[in-house]
Amino acid sequence: MQRVIGVEISHKNTPIEIREQLALNKTQISEAIKELKKHYQEVFILSTCNRLSLYAYGDNYQKLQQYIESFGDYGQYLNVFPDSKIAVQNLFSTAAGLESQAIGEHQIVGQIRDSFDLSRNERTIGPVLDELIREAIHLGKRVRLETDIGKHSASLATVGFELIKKHDLKLEDSTILLVGTGNMANLVNTILDRSPVKSLYVASHNLERAKEMAIEWGGKAEHVSALHHLIGKVDIVIGGTQGEVNLLSEKNLEDSKCTRAQFGRNAEKTKLLIDFGLPRNFNPGLKEVKNLFLYDLDDIKRMTYEGLLKRYDEIPEVKKIVEEEVEKYIQWLYQRKTSPVIEAYWNKMLLAKEDELKWLLPKLGKISPEQKKLIERFAHRLIRKLSKNPLEEVQKFAQNLHHQDNPINTVKKVFDLDDVELFVPKRRIIIGTRGSKLALTQTHQVIEQLRQIEPNNEYLTKVIRTHGDEGNIQVTGAFTSAIQVALFEGEIDIAIHSYKDLPTEPSQHTRIAAVSPREDIRDVIISRNGEKLNELKEGAVVGTGSLRREIQLKALRPDLHVKFIQGNVDGRIKQMKSGKFDAIVLAAAGLNRLGMIETADEILSSKQMLPAVSQGALALEIRNSDTENLSLLEEFNDEDTDLATSAERTFLKELGGGCNSPIAAYAQIENESIKIRGLYASANGEIAQIDGIEGHKKIANQLAAQLARTLSQKVLDQSRASREL
């Protein structure tokens, strides 16, 4: 089924050194959209210093993803928009300034317009994306007219000015070198509007353009090849060109004899470098040079946070406008799907009108041109009036194309339009999930598998915020209960959970209809210096949010200092890299689904680290009364994983289920047999027991319950013995 789809890498979760490798110039964008047009009806690419976004109108996003991956193994940074509503929501939020580094900045609207013009020139835009991008541009203007999202200063121009003030540089006594003439105009205008400068140099690959701007600002123009002559004369250097400038880019500054590399080290007074370029114009190693202060886009992102707080009050109102415009576009998209029927019906009406006029006009004898025109106008008004209600009703049917007995088919028969081909989805299925990158990624993967089973359905994703997303992880079902409520109330048709997050007590109104094939159940070590577990220094700090993992880590390395860590995968890795932890422990399953398994420095075996109950499996939940989706999901269900995770959850339930005691279990099925290993520990983790059991898989749950009772008794006996001592 054709839909609007997209993929994106953005500043939100991608470091600048990755983004600069994906910063496409106009020539690269032109080549990319022409190549992608071979696979999609329509293609659009938006490339800015903060994002690379690819949108298309087609039946899947795989070719877009493959294009990003052609640059390198960047799957861990990729955000996927697999259906129309999610893709449209992202583009509209981008146009509104909600996805920008500087919330509410207005430059993004111009960037979207420029990319739109480029795609139109290359003829990769059709009616669907044409309407989408025009509406995005309209939305960008609307939110800035109707809200104050762009009125509180947070632009790059203002940030640059504030940096100059921060370092006590007086503009009237400073010489500025500007590298690049494109997006730097706003910055320079802001600076010059606020204060005169001692002198200004403008350097560009395009000397004529540099001269034009130098004349406008009262400065001097130079070609970028002459930068090394200027560098010692200036106090402030502002870089903002996408072209290669090789400015201070020597890899080894200490050994370099180049004047350009030495100037900062030998400077007696402060020099300020502001790098707005992507790729970066200046060597990041210059941050270590005395008296030289270098700021790149990521530094600026951190600095602008406080200034952006003023704009946050406007975000709820902007989101309302975005939601309104998203719904309008989605409605238009559905109506467009019925346009072949509407067009065919209207053409029949026009033909009927012409036929009747051909019959009528000769019988009227001699009439004036004005009378003829009046009769023709009357005939046209008549067919418009007669067709008005039928056409409006057909447009309403467009919102329910997924209905099994869709009225649109009746319309086709009534008006003799059976030859009009129109894709009518068998059903529309709304799938609920959390909004984390991992949750969305695994949901999209499930949806693609469901499309393989039943391609005639329309699958939509609905993001639901849970208690766990709000930081409240202590409540039962922290990551699942809100999704289950949405399922029961009919907001969604299928809920997708990480099975390990589901409480063991079943819901009265819903049921687990399928379990996905199991991913890798193991845990992994990711360390700051690429070390394995046994290579970590003595007393190393290891982060985990699980007492289960802590107990087993201490069994392997008693010297380790285990600290609590919370957050998504990217967030935990970032905390480690910042120096808070020497290593962290994560599940291999999540890393695999995110395409990040290569970040693991060691994969621990299940003998070293027993996994959480149901780790690596996804549970698909439906309402008890939903027989249609039950039938669909029966084909998706992996029987071995279903049986194994059921045994593990029986083990968990027998030991108290939602209690705070650390519990782990792993069941393996081999032919007709099942082997179960389990871990049970006291609430404080000081007493822990591991044991196993095996038998025929037909009695898997009985075996799991027996193992649970055995371990519970062992922990109890050990606890008593400890007290007696």
Which among 65, 48, 64 is positioned nearest to 11, based on CA atoms? 48
Residue 277 pLDDT > 80 = no
Helices (H) and strands (E) in the chain, counts: 25, 23
Are 8 and 147 in the same domain?
yes
Residue 675 falls within a domain, yes or no? yes
Are 163 and 251 in the same domain?
yes
| Dist. CA 333–CA 703, nearest whole Å | 54
In this structure, the number of other CB atoms found within 10 A of the CB of residue 254 comes to 9
Are 160 and 287 in the same domain?
yes
pLDDT category at 350 given cuts 50, 70, 90 is: confident
How many domains, in total, are found in the chain? 5
What's the mean pLDDT in 253-260?
A: 48
Where in the sequence numbering do the catalytic residues fall?
A: 501
Omega of the bond leading into 279 within 30 degrees of 0 (cis)? yes
| Dist. CA 671–CA 673, nearest whole Å | 6
Q: Give the rounded distance of the alpha carbon of 46 from its chain centre.
A: 15
CATH code where residue 219 lies: 3.40.50.720
pLDDT at 301: 67
What's the mean pLDDT in 658-681?
A: 87
Residue 425 falls within a domain, yes or no? no
What is the per-residue pLDDT across 358-382, written as a single tens digit (0 to 9) for each? 899 888 888 998 898 899 889 888 8
| Dist. CA 475–CA 660, nearest whole Å | 11
Query: Do residues 529 and 579 make contact, with C-beta atoms less than 8 angstroms apart?
Result: no
| Dist. CA 98–CA 312, nearest whole Å | 10
Q: Is the Cα dihedral 317, 319, 325, 331 positive or negative?
A: negative
What φ, ψ does residue 81 adopt, rounded to 5°?
-120, 95
Are 163 and 284 in the same domain?
yes
Residue 296 falls within a domain, yes or no? yes
Structural domain range at position 585: 523-603
Which among 200, 180, 181 is positioned nearest to 192, based on CA atoms? 200
What φ, ψ does residue 178 adopt, rounded to 5°?
-105, 120
What's the mean pLDDT in 268-287?
A: 79
| Dist. CA 288–CA 273, nearest whole Å | 13
Are 40 and 139 in the same domain?
yes
CATH code where residue 28 lies: 3.30.460.30
User: Which of 359, 388, 414 delimits the end of a domain?
Assistant: 414
What φ, ψ does residue 254 adopt, rounded to 5°?
-65, -35
What's the mean pLDDT in 138-163?
A: 76
pLDDT at 251: 47
| Dist. CA 548–CA 169, nearest whole Å | 55
Residue 513 pLDDT > 90 = yes
Which helix or strand (DSSP H or E) is residue 564 part of?
Answer: strand 561-564
What is the per-residue pLDDT across 15-28, written as a single tens digit (0 to 9) for each? 888 888 888 989 99
Hey, what are 645's tokens? 């995770």
Average per-residue pLDDT for the chain? 84
pLDDT category at 422 given cuts 50, 70, 90 is: low
Buried b or exposed e, range 547-572, using 16+ CB within 10 angstroms:
bbbbbbbbeebeebebeebeebbbeb
Are 682 and 701 in the same domain?
yes
pLDDT category at 256 given cuts 50, 70, 90 is: very low
Residue 106 falls within a domain, yes or no? yes
What φ, ψ does residue 460 adopt, rounded to 5°?
-120, 145
Q: Is the Cα dihedral 411, 413, 418, 422 positive or negative?
A: positive
For the packed helices 207-217 and 185-194, what is the interaxial angle rounded to 10 degrees?
20
Q: Which range among 161-170, 216-225, 341-350, 707-716 has the greatest average pLDDT? A: 707-716
What φ, ψ does residue 368 adopt, rounded to 5°?
-75, 160
Which among 450, 444, 512 is positioned nearest to 483, based on CA atoms? 512
pLDDT at 264: 46
- Model pTM above 0.85: no
Are 163 and 262 in the same domain?
yes
Neighbouring residues of 470: CB distance < 8 A, sequence distance ≥ 6:
none
Neighbouring residues of 676: CB distance < 8 A, sequence distance ≥ 6:
647, 648, 651, 665, 666, 667, 668, 692, 693, 694, 700, 703, 704, 707
| 107-116, 145-154, 306-315, 702-711: least confidently modelled range | 306-315
Are 142 and 32 in the same domain?
yes
CATH code where residue 578 lies: 3.40.190.10
Which helix or strand (DSSP H or E) is residue 668 part of?
Answer: strand 663-670
In this structure, the number of other CB atoms found within 10 A of the CB of residue 536 comes to 21
| Dist. CA 453–CA 538, nearest whole Å | 52
Which helix or strand (DSSP H or E) is residue 273 part of?
Answer: strand 271-275
Strand order across the beta sheet in which 688-696 lies: 663-670, 673-681, 688-696
Higher local confidence (pLDDT), 457 or 474: 457
Are 240 and 142 in the same domain?
no
CA neighbours closer than 13 Å in the CB half-sphere of residue 210: 20
pLDDT at 433: 92
What is the per-residue pLDDT across 546-582, written as a single tens digit (0 to 9) for each? 889 999 999 999 999 999 998 888 889 989 998 999 9
Are 217 and 127 in the same domain?
no
Hey, what are 572's tokens? 């935990």
Which helix or strand (DSSP H or E) is residue 587 part of?
Answer: strand 583-587
| Dist. CA 544–CA 582, nearest whole Å | 12
What is the per-residue pLDDT across 618-665, written as a single tens digit (0 to 9) for each? 999 999 999 999 999 999 999 999 999 999 999 999 998 654 568 999
User: Which of 264, 285, 319 delimits the end of a domain?
Assistant: 319
pLDDT at 289: 79
Residue 419 falls within a domain, yes or no? no
Are 299 and 163 in the same domain?
yes
| Dist. CA 332–CA 321, nearest whole Å | 17
**Cα dist. 156→105, 249, 499 in Å?**
9, 23, 44
What's the mean pLDDT in 162-167?
A: 78
Are 84 and 160 in the same domain?
no
Residue 7 falls within a domain, yes or no? yes
| Dist. CA 714–CA 699, nearest whole Å | 23
In this structure, the number of other CB atoms found within 10 A of the CB of residue 698 comes to 11
| Dist. CA 464–CA 205, nearest whole Å | 49
What φ, ψ does residue 470 adopt, rounded to 5°?
-85, 0
Residue 502 falls within a domain, yes or no? no
**Cα dist. 72→19, 48, 247, 592 in Å?**
12, 19, 26, 16
Residue 585 pLDDT > 90 = yes
User: Which of 583, 603, 623 delimits the end of a domain?
Assistant: 603
pLDDT at 618: 95
| Dist. CA 219–CA 291, nearest whole Å | 26
pLDDT at 181: 74
Residue 71 pLDDT > 80 = yes
| Dist. CA 138–CA 113, nearest whole Å | 10
Hey, what are 212's tokens? 């034009």
pLDDT at 171: 80
Residue 152 pLDDT > 90 = no
pLDDT category at 255 given cuts 50, 70, 90 is: very low
pLDDT category at 88 given cuts 50, 70, 90 is: very high
Give, rounded to a whole angstrom, the gap between the first and last alpha carbons of the chain: 70
Residue 713 falls within a domain, yes or no? yes
Q: Give the rounded distance of the alpha carbon of 609 from its chain centre.
A: 31
